[in-house]
Amino acid sequence: MSDGEIKLEAGWRDALKDELDQQYMRELRDFLHTQRSMGKLVYPPGPLIFNALDTTPLDSVRVVIIGQDPYHGPGQAHGLAFSVPPGVRPPPSLQNIFKELQRDLGIPMRGHGCLTSWAEQGVLLLNAVMTVEQSRAGSHAKCGWEQFTTRVIEVVAQRHEHLVFMLWGNYAYKKADQLDLSGHCVLSSAHPSPLSAYRGFLGNGHFSAANRYLKSHGRPTVDWRLPESAV
């Protein structure tokens, strides 16, 4: 993750300029460089690490969905929490998200799991830890990303009024507990993982609730339908 690799929308780059220059971020860049020099596979690829911020401009954010860390299988991670690139089979958690969309809003499942269309509408799909080593979930936890993404959420919460935060699972709850989200809508439930989805994620109604809240405050709603195919 060299400075030359960072692809970041101008609003975010300006708002996070000082954060990117912090010592812990320099140490994080060194850590990632060392991991790659040792032959370890790190996901997502360098230019996509900040894909969530680059695809969803700071001024357009209206919903924030917080994930834990990227998918750790080959070809799965592309920098958007819970999303996979076109041509990659949706993992179980994403399949459960689609089940809840269908139950909540009657939106049919698609044959792909690319959520770029959500990100382009202002849904910030942010993983709290933004990189991972192949086949080692959580391997880049406590390397600096948590501090950075806390700052990202602080920036967006301060910049906007009446955001919707979707917190799925204990990890997301704990992340939000560090922040002042007063004045925003906070929706919490179990995680969509197959281990917990039936303990409160399925049936949570978050997608319709988000749009009701946005509409009640004069903000554009989200079209949660995905295109029939992704490119």
Q: Burial, 191: exposed, middle or buried (Cβ in 10 Å; 0-12, 13-18, 19+)? A: buried
User: How many Cβ atoms sit within 10 Å of the Cβ of residue 162?
Assistant: 14
Give 69's contacts (C-beta < 8 A, 6+ positions apart).
Answer: 127, 128, 129, 130, 131, 132, 137, 138, 140, 141
Pairing mode, strands 132-133 and 164-168: unpaired
Helical H segments across the chain, by residue range? 10-15, 17-20, 23-37, 51-55, 92-105, 116-119, 145-159, 170-177, 206-216
In whole angstroms, what is the distance from residue 45 CA to residue 1 CA?
A: 9
* Residue type for position 19: E
69 labelled catalytic: yes
In whole angstroms, what is the distance from residue 98 CA to residue 108 CA?
A: 8
Report helix, strand or coil for 76: coil
Choose, from 14, 18, 30, 69, the residue flagged as catalytic.
69
Kindly list the catalytic residues.
69
